[in-house]
Chains A and B, each alone.
Chain A
Amino acid sequence: MIGIVRYGAGNIFSLTSALDRLGITYGMINNEADFEQFDRYIIPGVGHAGAAMAKLENTGLVPKIKALNKPTLGICVGMQLLTAHSEEGDADLLNIIPVKTLKFKDEPGFKVPHTGWNNVYPQAGNPLFENIPADAHFYFVHSYYIEYDGAYTLASTNYINNFSASIWHNNFFGVQFHPEKSGEYGETLLKNFSKL
């Protein structure tokens, strides 16, 4: 059963709807004791990374999250929170995965936010991307991206530059795209996470 970390950053109706459709059970985490009821966790999030981090800090859950040893998936800004730092609000983040969240550079012909369906190229053999083809489209909407890093990038996408569509370190995973809005393959990814 998945525990969804509630810290006031963004709406989760679409995420819980996707889990309902897939028959994946879940509950909400509002305090430290709640973590014990679940065997895996999702950290959702939309909006401003610096503001999201401030909200997460207000919950007092940060030390507990950093110490988690069960599968944990950050989605969109929830993924960016796993990184060391974001240029959005010049904010220090959880630093669970030591990479940086950067702003897309101005580049003629490339609009920001990066909005729409783009190809995702995962490393072969990772169970999070099982049964998902190597160039499958996922739905993105973001103005900041996580740098590509050979050690932590689990899947890459190209927009202006190569960046991390997904990161991975031990039990922590993150996806920049929205699996709950990414059609069939997004649902496959959520299903895969529920079985990790």
Chain B
Amino acid sequence: MLAKRIIPCLDVKDGRTVKGVNFVDLRDAGDPVELAWNYSRQGADELVFLDITATHERRKTMIEMVKAVARQINIPFTIGGGIMEIADADALLNAGADKISINSAAVRNPGFIDELAKAFGVQFVVVAVDTRYDGNANIVHLNGGRIPTEKETLDWITEAESRGAGEILLTSMDHDGTKAGFDNNLLKIVNDVVNIPVIASGGAGSVQHFVDVFQKTNVDAALAASVFHYGQILIPDLKLALKNQNINVR
């Protein structure tokens, strides 16, 4: 039976992980490779690295990091952030990335999804969608939820799938950072509409939130950052709790 996936997300700036991480036995909390290795040893099913570097050197530093991760890590990982053209994706693929995640570049140029799927296959293309409820509808937002677009979330996700997205990473900006649980209502609607895997993101604060998102929405994977980085939830404990609720995990 296909297992539900647990995915820690790491923010990377200039080739170093940012946000506090307090693993006890970590020599260098800013080293993406060491962090990734620790997560894979704990039973993470997959990793996502989001590049938040804003400099011109970004591509070069990211490629070096991706190679270093691929050399050491034996689980799949996705790279997101700043992928604007086919050449960016190609360089990441050749450095060992399993998937890339695109967000604003796809919103601004939806044809980019088609191009990527054609060049590398749908399994390589994750479309990340940041969504926020504006009082009337769920609207796609850019720049970490700050800039609303004209697109309704459900329409955009359906379009992304039809263009060749292999997976949807849905972050509810209303829930992100609240630690009050995932946006299960929206995630259920989205998961029922598409026929590609959906990764839930935004709002994880407790083990019960992961139980809830899998039981209530049947999404394929759940992603979180700080609850893992700060050691509030340990992945082996989380997996055990999910198993005890008859949720199939590795």
Shortest distance from the beta carbon of B189 to any chain A beta carbon, whole Å: 15
Could you tell me if B67 and A181 are in contact, using CB atoms closer than 8 angstroms?
A: no
B114 at interface by CB-CB < 8 Å = no
Given A116-B45, A159-B2, A183-B75: A11 and B197 within 8 A (CB)?
Answer: no
Bound form: Cα–Cα A114–B71 in Å: 25
Could you tell me if B195 and A14 are in contact, using CB atoms closer than 8 angstroms?
A: no
Bound form: Cα–Cα A21–B40 in Å: 15
Given A118-B2, A118-B3: A142 and B123 within 8 A (CB)?
Answer: yes
- Which A13-35 residues have C-beta < 8 A from chain B? 13-14, 17-18, 20-21
Bound form: Cα–Cα A137–B44 in Å: 13
**Residues of A contacting B122 with CB < 8 Å?**
113, 143
Scan B79-111; emit 1 where CB is below 8 A from any A CB, else 0.
Answer: 000000000000001111010000000000000
Chain B, interface SS category:
loop
**Residues of B contacting A112 with CB < 8 Å?**
195-196
Bound form: Cα–Cα A111–B195 in Å: 5
**Residues of A contacting B95 with CB < 8 Å?**
13
**Residues of A contacting B70 with CB < 8 Å?**
13-14, 17
Q: Which of A14, A142, A159 contacts B98 (CB 8 A)?
A: A14
Bound form: Cα–Cα A20–B75 in Å: 15
- Which residue of the partner chain A has the closest CB to B1? A119
> Total interface residues on A, using CB and 8 Å?
36
Could you tell me if A116 and B197 are in contact, using CB atoms closer than 8 angstroms?
A: yes
Scan B1-19; emit 1 where CB is below 8 A from any A CB, else 0.
Answer: 1110100000000000000
Given A13-B70, A17-B71: A115 and B1 within 8 A (CB)?
Answer: no
**Residues of B contacting A106 with CB < 8 Å?**
195
Shortest distance from the beta carbon of B88 to any chain A beta carbon, whole Å: 15
User: For this complex, into which size category does the number of interface residues on chain B fall?
Assistant: 20 to 34
A47 at interface by CB-CB < 8 Å = yes
A149 at interface by CB-CB < 8 Å = no
**Residues of A contacting B218 with CB < 8 Å?**
109
**Residues of B contacting A141 with CB < 8 Å?**
76, 98, 123
Could you tell me if B96 and A11 are in contact, using CB atoms closer than 8 angstroms?
A: yes
**Residues of B contacting A115 with CB < 8 Å?**
123, 166-167, 197, 220
Given contacts A115-B220, A116-B197, 19 further A-B contacts (CB under 8 A): A11-B93, A13-B67, A13-B96, A17-B71, A17-B96, A21-B71, A47-B121, A109-B218, A113-B123, A114-B2, A115-B167, A116-B45, A117-B45, A137-B3, A137-B250, A139-B75, A141-B123, A142-B123, A181-B75
Identify 13 residue pairs between A and B in the complex whose beta-carbon atoms are under 8 Å apart, listed by A's number. A11-B93, A13-B70, A17-B96, A21-B72, A21-B74, A47-B120, A48-B121, A113-B197, A115-B197, A118-B3, A159-B2, A181-B76, A182-B74
